[in-house]
Structure 1
Amino acid sequence: MNNETTFGTGKLPPDFLARLLARYGSTDPRLVVRPGLGLDAAVLDLGDQYLVAKSDPITFATSEIGWYAVHVNANDVACMGGTPHWFLATLLLPPGSSATLIASLFAQIHEACASLSVTLVGGHTEISHGLERPLVAGTMLGTMPKAALVTPADARPGDHLVVAKGFPIEGTAIIAHERAEELRARGWSEAEIAEAQCFLHEPGISVVRAARIAAGAVPLHGMHDPTEGGLATGLREMAQAAGLGLRVHSASLPLLPLAARLCAAFDLDPLGTIASGALCIVVAPQHSPALLAALSAENIPAVVVGKLLAAGSGEWLVTGEEQVPLPTFTVDEITRLF
């Protein structure tokens, strides 16, 4: 890779991003969790407690983007063991945006904040040249007791990989919103389309409640909210953050039936389709039964999908009797709809 290299839509290549973070990362001693692959948020030492800070934009969805922005940022705070408290939103709007549109975005943000007992404390709104659709970038701040911090630093080979809630929840909602007319033309019923669109709310893209229950049940060795690049990328990022390999069993992956049908309709691989709403958890094998029981008691489905391997062992997907490299998605599958 040289200075003339260009990139397509989606996340930066992991090796390039890692080099940038190594070169330009902070040396502030109060920074407890520094920027890194598979690390959902920064954590700063405030003396008596930790501050958790996260920023994330909404770039794929066009419907209810205010709701998305609050929840995806809150998810990452929760995955570190924190409680989200304060939200800032930057709204960039194309010329010609109506007062009705802008008011609806504010209402979505307000509603999403209220659902999490989060306070909207600031941000920025402007009409920007060169945009074709609204963009929202959010920053969520939260706090936690120091003992509550969850990071992959304690992960060990043999730890179980657990996925809660199923996948790809966010991708299903996006497909159903962005391709509703095409689905109707293909014979999908209004009830099916509406159900898929409602995945944004049920099962929902928030993992804050699931993360809180998991963290309160047993000691955890990591949590992660898979987003761009889908569940495969999220699982890989967890292993990379721990410096370990992984093996995942295809038959155990909780692919939601309606999501599978929608992805098949547009020839998208569900493993690489944006997956906010799932929660990936690393836990010692002796604690996984108690973790699954705690989640099940709160009507949150969860399943062990694989385990971490020793460093240098590779990243594998087991399908039947065959073991193949875990698929890599340099660009999220959902981008093929745009």
Structure 2
Amino acid sequence: MRIGKVTESVLKRSVLKIIKSDSNKESAAAKSDCAYSIDENGQKTLSSVAVFTVNSADAGYYAVHNAANNIFCMGGIPTMAVISILLPETAEEAELKKIMKSAVRAANDLNIAIDGGHTEVSLAVNKVVITVTVVGKEVFPIKEGVLSKDIACDNKKIPSTRVRKDFDIVMTKWTGLEGTAILAEICREKLAERLPDYMLRQAEEFKERISVKNDSQLAIEAGACYLHDVSMGGIFAALWEIAQRAGCGLEVDLKKIPIKQETIEITNYLGINPYQLVSGGSLLMLTADGEAMVRVLEKEGIAASIIGITTDKNDRIIKNDDEIRYLDKPQADEICRV
């Protein structure tokens, strides 16, 4: 199979179908990147898993924040993290220490503790594999009644209705933030042949923006009906996933997708598609009034843009002036090529 996330067809055949047919419990596996359970008091406990395999000095930092972002998108607040690290036989102790220091920095950002985990040197891997599970609790419930038929809330299904057409698609921050920071670090020597040092330093600092905590809380309070963080596969993958889960079509203007100049310069030089590059820190949402949502976010210093609308068709369309292309199923993230 190809590198990266398994394809949607493989996921449905070999994972979700088995869960559905062989389990006596309803699963939310296909409906969200965040699982949940509800206790006797109606409190929803959330959990999310992130796997990180890129050879970055900040690998632990990225992994913890990626898992926490899924909690935020479900209206939750993280309460703890568990981290598992598999090391190849060639790894040095200094590398493990660096991973843990970066993970603790992310946990401190989120005001949570790393409460457990597992660390092992294994012949099964040829590079470091970091798996982070973040647990949280729901604090900002997403409003019922406007979600798609695929979303379950409060242990009961929403009435069988699709997200209606003409919802605005709002995106916060810029595409490729996380990937740009990683590339500026791991490809610095090559990039320095073409790009100035100040640009690479600015690009590396993008990692400080990869949390969607404030974005998601403001969006939920302002009435966003569906949230999805832009992670592996980039904005193109996130657009496909939000349409698939919300049961709607999309029309998106490519020129309205915000992108930093540093991202343009770095991806152009490396021959990478910035729209298929891991984009932690950016949040997608569907909302009935995109202009009002943008005002709410920008008032709090969060850049936001309306990049398209939902439709009552199945097509996922990307427009670039007069050119129209149909969005493909999510591809392997460009970071995997590096």
Counterpart residue number, 1:320: 321
In 1: Cα distance, 2:77 partner to 2:69 partner: 10
Counterpart residue number, 2:67: 73
Within 5 Å, give how 1:233-272 maps onto structure 2. 233-272=237-276
In 1: Cα distance, 2:226 partner to 2:291 partner: 16
Give the TM-score normalised by structure 2.
0.89
Within 5 Å, give how 1:119-130 maps onto structure 2. 119-130=113-124
Q: Does 1:274 align with 2:269?
A: no
Q: Which amino acid aligns with 2:210?
A: I
Counterpart residue number, 2:17: 22
Q: Which amino acid aligns with 1:299?
A: G
Contact persistence 2:240–2:330 (CA under 8 A):
no
Q: What is the DSSP-based 3-state SS (H/G/I as helix, E as strand, rest coil) of the residue aligned with 1:225?
A: strand
Q: Label 1:130 to 1:18 Cα distance change in 2 as closer, same or farther (>3 A).
A: closer
Tell me how far 1:155 sits from its aligned partner.
2.7
Counterpart residue number, 2:187: 179
Tell me how far 1:146 sits from its aligned partner.
7.9
Task: List structure 1 segments (4+ residues) > 6 angstroms apart after TM superposition.
Answer: none
In 1: Cα distance, 2:267 partner to 2:321 partner: 22
Q: Label 1:241 to 1:194 Cα distance change in 2 as closer, same or farther (>3 A).
A: same
Q: Label 1:11 to 1:109 Cα distance change in 2 as closer, same or farther (>3 A).
A: same
Give the TM-score normalised by structure 1.
0.89
Contact persistence 2:77–2:139 (CA under 8 A):
no
Per-residue CA deviations over 1:23-53 (Å, capped at 9, x if unaligned) read: 2244425x6xx0116x221121123210111
In 2: Cα distance, 1:68 partner to 1:118 partner: 15
Tell me how far 1:231 sits from its aligned partner.
0.3
Q: Does 1:215 align with 2:223?
A: no
Counterpart residue number, 2:197: 190
Contact persistence 2:276–2:331 (CA under 8 A):
no
In 1: Cα distance, 2:85 partner to 2:164 partner: 41
Q: Label 1:146 to 1:114 Cα distance change in 2 as closer, same or farther (>3 A).
A: closer
Counterpart residue number, 2:232: 228
Contact persistence 2:291–2:306 (CA under 8 A):
no
Q: 1:158 aligns with which of 139, 161, 166?
A: 166
Contact persistence 1:82–1:148 (CA under 8 A):
no
In 2: Cα distance, 1:299 partner to 1:148 partner: 22
Contact persistence 1:227–1:276 (CA under 8 A):
yes
Per-residue CA deviations over 1:166-221 (Å, capped at 9, x if unaligned) read: 1101110121112111112x2322222221122111xx2111121112112x2221
In 1: Cα distance, 2:29 partner to 2:56 partner: 28
Structure 2: 5+ residue runs without aligned partners?
152-161
Contact persistence 1:49–1:146 (CA under 8 A):
no
Q: CA RMSD in A?
A: 1.9
Q: How many residues align?
A: 320
Structure 1: 5+ residue runs without aligned partners?
1-6
Tell me how far 1:71 sits from its aligned partner.
0.2
Contact persistence 1:70–1:112 (CA under 8 A):
yes
Within 5 Å, give how 1:87-166 maps onto structure 2. 87-145=81-139, 147-148=141-142, 152=148, 153=151, 155-166=163-174
Q: Label 1:289 to 1:72 Cα distance change in 2 as closer, same or farther (>3 A).
A: same
Per-residue CA deviations over 1:234-289 (Å, capped at 9, x if unaligned) read: 011000001211110012110111101111111111111111111111111xx322
Q: Give the fraction of aligned pairs with identical amino acids, expressed as a percent.
A: 26
